[in-house]
Structure formats: structure tokens, C-alpha cells
A = this chain, B = another copy of it.
Amino acid sequence: MKKKIISAIICLFIFAGTFAQELANFRRAPVVSPEIGEKTVTFRISAPQAKLVRLYGSWMRSSDSSLNMSKDTADIWVVTIQRPPEELYTYNFIVDGLNVNDPNNVFLQRDGTRYLSVLLVPGDLTSNYFEAGKRGNLRKVWYSSPTIGTTRRMYVYTPHGYETGKESYPVLYLLHGGGGDEDAWATMGRACQILDNLIEKKLAVPMICVMPNGNPSQEAARTTLLQERVLDRNSPGFANLYINSIVKDIIPYVEKNFRVIAKPEARAVSGLSMGGGHTLSVTNEHPGVFGYICPLSMGIRDSQTDIDEKLQGVKKAGYKLYWVACGSDDFLFEMAKSLDAALTRNGLDHTFFVTPGGHTWANWRIYLNTFGQLLFK
């Protein structure tokens, strides 16, 4: 009897809660979108007054390939497409010319300043992008950066078992690209899921992964509303400000506050695009700090006259792995090829991992999923 009463009360709580939170103005229609079938994916949006609704997805060649949707009897616009190959895609509707997210898809991610609806098509390639059985934790950590002169935020992934164990771990420093911030690899990059899966499948060594913010003007992602500083990009120290802070501020913080193996052979650095540039700069300017060097979708210009001297420094200091990756359609592919050539010319053992595709998160997830298996072995 008591249990029945408690049940009834709890039900009322749930009822009350469900109708809470200022719902009045946001009537939720029972619209399912995206609906991933065996061979098709269906997208739906309620837009009764719209004249023309189109679908654009990142699996299309360009926005010119957007698909017209058609309106059903319930004023829901619908389009069904052939299920695209397994991948994590982003998409949006174009309602009378206006880009809008899918209001019925809770899987929305920020990519820089934009929010994009996400379609994650299951398959072998993407199996590591879903939640693993054993999952590591993610911390949003504020640390002091005397080099840059502010408190700054980074994300730190700790592998499953970190909290309960006593062992020390190697660390991957994973750097985002231009327009990104400390959140980018954890959301668009699926870094936690990829590492969880690789570690659970014993394809990767358990590791900590540190994702800093590579914009020295920012303390943290713009979503914090923190004022950005105006930094003089022409000042002598600017170019090295962030990479020096990695070595002088971030690594010491991590090695003091986490159970890590504080040795070069237990430190990896990788980054995409601008973060690939940071990867090159930090290893060129601080040779011997990182045993694993993985610049992604980045390279060097042939006009960089001091590259041989720098790479000789890296060679002399020693490293375990130099792994360069780029898409063959990437607009920086020529620069990546120049880096490959410079590494060869200077006698540095390395891998040049070339994939189809361009300067995309699709590639960066594939790269992490690939080089993650090579680290610390």
C-alpha cells in the first residue's frame, strides 16, 4: 500500500517535471528525424508555412546537391535518401533559404561557432565512434598559464580504471584546428569514444588525452562568454606563445596533477590543421619533449628555409614515431607532401598516411582511430 502511494507520488513528480521548464511555447511534435533504416535514412521537419524545404548533408558534394523535401498531409516535410556509407555526418534543413538544425534530433554538436545536427551511420568504420562498454572520464580543467598570462581551460580524458587504479599512464596531447577550441576533439572528433573503444579492444595502450585550447587570446571556448584578449600577433613572442605554454604550463600541470609517465617516450602530440602546425612547431622548437609526433592535415611551405635545421634537431633528440596524415583532396596536401619530402631528405623515419577526402573531421577521426593504435608501444 505504501509502495503504491509512493509510486503514485513519484509518477506525479515525473508528470510535473515533464511539463516543467517553460514548455508552453515549444510544442513537441511526434516527429522522428533522422530515422536510420537498413538501407535508407529519412529526415523530417514540421514547417507548415514553408514554400520550399531542402536537406543539406555533409555526405553531399556541395550545397548545390541539396535535396528538395516534400510536404506530407500533416505539414511535415520529408525526404528519404539511400543510406550513405558509415560515417559521422552533419546536416541541416534549408527552409525557404534559411539554414536550420533538426529540431527533433538531440544529437547536435558545436563546430566552432556553428551548431550542426549530427547523423551517425553505424558500420565498421564508425563502430569506435559510439560509446564503448568501458568508458573513461572527461574533465574540464582550469589551469594557470603564466606563459600566456591567464587561467585557461583544457579537457582531460582519463581512461577507464584511472580513478580506481594506481598505475601511471602515457599522455596524448591532442590539438584542435582553427576556429576550434578545447571542446572540438571531444565533440566533433569523438576522441573519448575512439580512445575508449581502442583501449577496450586492446588495440591501444590505456592513455590520458589532454585537449587544450590553442587560441591564446581565449581563456576557454566562447561559450563561456569570457572576454577575449587582444594579442599583438606581430609581437616577437606571439608565434611561440601557445607552443611554449604547452611545454612550460600544460605538461607540468598534467604531470603534477595526474598519474602520468613523465618521459618523452610516454608523450605524444598530434593536432589537425592549425593544431598540426602547433604539432610541428612544438616539436621543432622543443625537440626531445615528445616521443610521438603526429601532425594531421598540415605540412610546410617549401619557402621554410630553416626546416632542415629544425628536423635535424628532432632527429638528434630522438623520437619513437613520426606519423604524418593528410587527405589527397586536402587543400594543404601539397604542404603535407613537402613535409613528407623534408622528413625523407633529412633521414627521419616516418609514415605518410594518405587517405581520400579533404580537410574534414571525417578524416581526423580516422587518423586518431589509426595512430591511436601506434602510440606508446
**Which residues of A approach B to under 8 Å, CB–CB?**
2-3, 5-7, 9-22, 24-26, 28, 47-51, 56, 58, 62-63, 90, 95-101, 103, 106-108, 110-115, 120, 130-131, 133, 135-142, 151, 160, 163-164, 177-180, 188, 220, 222-226, 233-234, 236, 238-240, 257, 272-278, 281, 297-298, 300-301, 303-306, 331-332, 359-361
Contacts and interface: CB of A to CB of B under 8 A. Distances in A.
**How many copies of this protein are present in the complex?**
2
Given A9-B281, A12-B301, 13 more contacts: A6-B240, A11-B233, A13-B273, A15-B178, A16-B273, A20-B178, A21-B177, A21-B188, A22-B111, A47-B98, A98-B100, A135-B151, A137-B142
Contacts of A136: 142
A159 B21 CA distance: 28
A50 B96 contact: yes
A354 to B, nearest CB: 18
Given A5-B306, A163-B257, A48 B97 contact: yes
A119 to B, nearest CB: 11
Contacts of A51: 49
Interface centre among A3, A178, A240 (most CB of B within 10 A): A178
A113 B225 contact: no
Nearest to A142: B135
Contacts of A5: 303-306
B16 A298 contact: yes
Contacts of A177: 17, 20-21
A49 B6 contact: no
A361 B115 CA distance: 23
Contacts of A110: 106, 108
A228 to B, nearest CB: 12
Contacts of A274: 13-14, 16-18, 20
B17 A178 contact: yes
Given A28-B113, A141-B137, A142-B137, A178 B14 contact: yes
B137 A178 contact: no
A11 B304 CA distance: 13
A21 B111 contact: yes
Nearest to A51: B49
B18 A50 contact: no
Contacts of A7: 233-234, 238-239
Q: Which 6 A-B pairs have the closest CB atoms?
A: A17-B178, A13-B277, A17-B274, A25-B63, A17-B177, A18-B178
A97 B96 CA distance: 12
Residue among A2, A51, A274 with the highest chain B CB neighbour number at 10 A: A274
Contacts of A13: 178, 273-274, 276-278, 298
Contact of A95 (B11, B48, B95, B131): B95
Most buried by B among A7, A10, A305: A10
A300 B137 contact: no
B50 A20 contact: no
Contacts of A98: 47, 49-50, 95, 100
A16 B295 CA distance: 14
Contacts of A63: 24-25
Given A135-B142, A274-B16, A99 B26 contact: yes
